[in-house]
Structure 1
Amino acid sequence: MESNVTATLLDGAPRVRRPRGLVTEIVESLAASIRAGQLQPGDKLPTEAEIMARFDVSRTVVRESISKLQASGLVETRHGIGTFVIENRDAGNFKIAAADFATVADVISVLELRISLETEAAGLAAQRRTTENLEAMATALRAFQDSIHADSDAVPPDFQFHMEVARATGNRHFADLMTYLGTMIIPRTRVNTPQSAPEGRLSYLQRVNSEHENIYNAIRSQDAEAARAAMRTHLSNSRERLRRGQAFEPANPPATS
């Protein structure tokens, strides 16, 4: 399993190298996989050498990344053996777990939280986005469209688009929160909205992607107010679609990104 986990976590598209962001890049990648359930408590992380090779970074960067994961209570290092995922035993910390998505009302509650946070994130992204940020968002949009035609639920590219907006704020706490929440914040991981939508799956997902494109266009134009409005409209529409009585289905394991 360890080799499969390593491939899942570390393979992917070429990354833009950000001198000050290498540690964050590794932490986000590993933490996202832990939050999404790709790595379970007790699983061993890839070795330092494997992480160094895959991310093309120094041992110092890898060790600092592992230290940050340890400080977050996600992993522990057993000297001479390796680094392992652990249960987060600090129940006093803020958390949103899979159990908090047991009903449609729960999913709506998280959407309301996202409306307040991601609306402002979109505005900041419009003010601060870089060419690289725009390229990453455009890649997520294309992946979403490809997923629609591949008969997929398009959850991974959906989450990736929202993650890229968070990164474009230039404020790491937005991205850290998105990493923490993971793909389970996408309502389709808990409620079968595409199949139960009156217009049908294809039209439903195309409408979602069109809403994403509106957000992207506003951010690209550096129109902060339009970006906020587009994000608020997108998430509010998701909330209203749920409120109109979509049938709840038993929760599935969160999709991976």
Structure 2
Amino acid sequence: MPKEEAERTSQAVSAVKGDLFDTARPGGLHERVYKSLVHAIISGRFAEGDKLPSEAELAMIFTVSRPVVRQALEKLRAEGVIESLRGSGNYVTGLDRLVDSMQEFGVDWSKHAKTMLDDLEFRLVIEPEAAYLAARRRTQVDLNRMRAALGRFEQAHATGRITHHFDYLFHEAIALATTNTRFIDAARSVEFSKDVRSLLIRHLVYFHPVGRGAESIQEHLRVFELIEDREPESARKAMWNHLNASRNRLNEQLQVLRNGLRGSAI
């Protein structure tokens, strides 16, 4: 590989390693790569039509061999999540087959519903305090990070993309603004504990069809404005209100799904 190309690859890997993938997932080597790739796709980091990093880049990101990466990609192709174009690379084709494969919905449903409710219960304790501290400690860099995440969230929502990744980036930006590693670790633990089915269910519950996604965006904007204005008490309350509203929306849609109307708007 020419020196210039190697340097570009190294720079690309450095840019994405901490942002796109959780590289420490459990399982064998190819399973770890597969789980992280599918999480990035299902959480919305990669949309339909997006090109994945090359095999060489993925091998460097995950510190594995290219045959291991190839095995993970073959599994994604078999599931209809990606397709390979000769001489071009691997592209995301969609999630329809994964959604259709969730016929055990009734079997796994209670477990995944409880996971989502447990997440919100935990976040209702942690994140209002994070918003309070962020309003007191935020810097312009923090505000820029939050504003960028909100913009990407709105854009993804407006185009019908999965918004989970951008939702997470906003909440992570608030945690980062606290400058407290415990809050940052807590925010990331909730994100990366998600398995494939939980992420798919979350998308079906919150944002498919578009439904009440606009409400969530407005709640995020309110939290951001209060952090920007250095209103810690109000920011704490606004974050609690947002997460409680999310819990209410979740419970409403859970009831819809239990009644067999899985595809109805929320």
Same fold (TM over 0.5): yes
**Residue aligning to 1:92:** none
Q: Could you list the per-position Cα deviations for residues 191-247 of structure 1 after superposition, in whole angstroms to 9, with x for gaps in the alignment?
A: 312456xxxx33411111111001100100110111111110111011111222242
The alignment status of 1:247 with 2:257, answered yes or no, reads yes
Q: Give the Å deviation of 1:41.
A: 4.3
TM-score by length of 2: 0.56
Q: How many residues align?
A: 177
Query: How many Å apart are 1:171 and its aligned residue?
Result: 0.6
The residue matched to 2:22 in structure 1 has which SS?
helix
- Closer/same/farther in 2, CA of residues 242 and 11 from structure 1, 3 Å limit: same
TM-score, normalised to structure 1, is: 0.57
Separation in 1 of the partners of 2:133 and 2:257? 35
Instruction: Output aligned runs, 1:176-191, within 5 Å.
Output: 176-182=185-191, 189-191=200-202
Contact 2:119 2:190 in 1 (8 A): no
Structure 2 counterpart of 1:71: none
Alpha-carbon distance in structure 2 between the residues aligned to 1:235 and 1:217: 17
Give the structure 1 partner of residue 182 of structure 2: 173
Deviations 1:85-130 (A, max 9, x none): xxxxxxxxxxxxxx99823233112201110000100000000000
* Structure 1: gaps spanning 5 or more residues: 13-25, 46-76, 82-98, 250-257
Asked if structure 1 preserves the Cα contact closer than 8 Å seen for 2:206 and 2:250, the reply is no
Q: Distance in 2 between matches of 1:126 and 1:185?
A: 28
Bigger relative CO (Cα 8 Å, ≥ 6 apart) = 1
Q: Tell me: CA distance 1:194–1:31, structure 2 relative to 1, closer, same or farther (3 Å).
A: closer
RMSD (Å), alpha carbons = 3.9
CA distance in structure 2 between the aligned counterparts of 1:145 and 1:31, rounded to whole angstroms: 19
Can you list the C-alpha shifts for 1:67-92, whole angstroms capped at 9, x where unaligned?
xxxxxxxxxx9xxx9xxxxxxxxxxx
**AA in 2 matched with 1:114:** R
Q: What are the residue-to-residue correspondences of 1:112-123 with 2, within 5 Å? A: 112-123=121-132
* Alignment match, 1:162: 171
Choose the corresponding residue for 1:33, options 22, 44, 66.
Answer: 22
Identity of aligned residues (%): 24
Q: Relative to 1, partners in 2 of residues 1:40 and 1:195: Cα closer, same or farther, differing over 3 Å?
A: same
Distance 2:170 2:193 in 1: 14
- 2:117 equivalent in structure 1: 108
1:10 aligns with 2:14: yes
Aligned with 2:217 (options 209, 212, 227)? 209
Indicate conservation of the 8 Å contact 1:155/1:189, yes or no: no
Name the structure with the higher helix share.
2
